[in-house]
Amino acid sequence: MPSSRKPARANRVVELDHPLVKDHLTRLRDVQTPPDEFRRLVSRLTWLLAIEATRDLRLRRRPVDTPLARYDGHEIAGRVGLVPILRAGLGMVDPVLTLIPDAEVWHLGVYRDEATHQPVEYYNKLPTARPVDVALILDPMLATGGSILAALAMLRDWHVPTVKVLSIISASEGVRTVSSQFPETSIYTCGIDSKLNAHKFIVPGLGDAGDRQFNTLPRGEK
């Protein structure tokens, strides 16, 4: 008997090509950009990423009455989940919630061990009940891909049918790693940089997105 399971969709890597993205991303990279402006730029770039990543959300009909007539409109069908990776992903939540106010937010805590460069999970409160229909993983940096892979594995265990990754800056190595291990997952990014340094930071990149957002850089680096 033929399987009823739908075939996995091919991976898409979407690098935004827009004048506003190039302008905001340049200012985000600038070492002189202070934390308050850095947070605003993260928000704006996330908003632009979310617009692109939600183009194929399913709709259902929703007739409404305007002040003048009946209108056959639409609304988002199904549940959308936002999955920010703590802590840097927190700055990407509000702009997406502005666009999808009914979205659910499920935090995942994953950090990179600085000695082994491997992801370490420390917080996961994903429910065991029916999963969301679409999950958007939010992480400003896709470097080695380790944290994203850990999040994707957790969402696979939750049986989420469609997962997309939204990262402001990505390294080509991390994009290849995620695409090879989760070929059904699409990646949306504002820029893809060519390499990682010896400490697995993206070059030229923008430094540590969490520290720059939340003003926790060591004193000598401010």
pLDDT at 9 over 60: no
Query: For the segment 161-210, what is each residue's pLDDT rounded down to a tens digit?
Result: 999 999 999 999 999 999 999 999 999 999 999 999 988 899 999 989 98
Enumerate residues 6+ apart whose C-beta is below 8 A from 189: 13, 14, 15, 16, 49, 142, 166, 167, 168, 169, 170, 175
Residue 125 lies in a domain: yes
Residue 193 lies in a domain: yes
2, part of any domain: no
In this structure, is residue 153 part of a structural domain?
Answer: yes
Backbone angles phi, psi at 201, to 5 degrees: -95, 145
Residue 129 lies in a domain: yes
Average pLDDT, the chain: 90
What is the count of structural domains for the chain? 1
Domain CATH for 99? 3.40.50.2020
Give residue 163's domain range: 13-58+69-221
> How do residues 178-190 score in pLDDT, each as one tens digit?
999 999 999 999 9
Q: Show the CA angle centred on residue 114, arms to residues 171 and 202, nearest 5°.
A: 20
* Residue 3: inside a domain: no
Is 93 a member of any domain? yes
Specify the amino acid at residue 30: D
Confidence band for 220, pLDDT divided at 50, 70 and 90: low
Is it the case that residue 31 has pLDDT exceeding 60? yes
| Range of lowest pLDDT (28-37, 53-62, 121-130) | 121-130
Q: Are 145 and 177 in contact (CB under 8 A)?
A: yes
**pTM reported for the whole predicted model:** 0.89
Residue 27: per-residue pLDDT: 97
Q: Give the pair of three-digit tokens for residue 122.
A: 């420390």
- Work out the percent of the chain whose per-residue pLDDT is above 70: 91
Long-range pairs for 215-221 at CB < 8 Å and ≥24 separation?
A: 215/35
Position 6 in a domain: no
For 138-152, write each residue's pLDDT tens digit: 999 999 999 999 999
Sign of the Cα pseudo-torsion (210, 177, 55, 205, in order): positive
What pLDDT, on a 0 to 100 scale, did the predictor assign at position 4? Answer: 37
- Stretch 89-101: mean pLDDT, rounded? 96
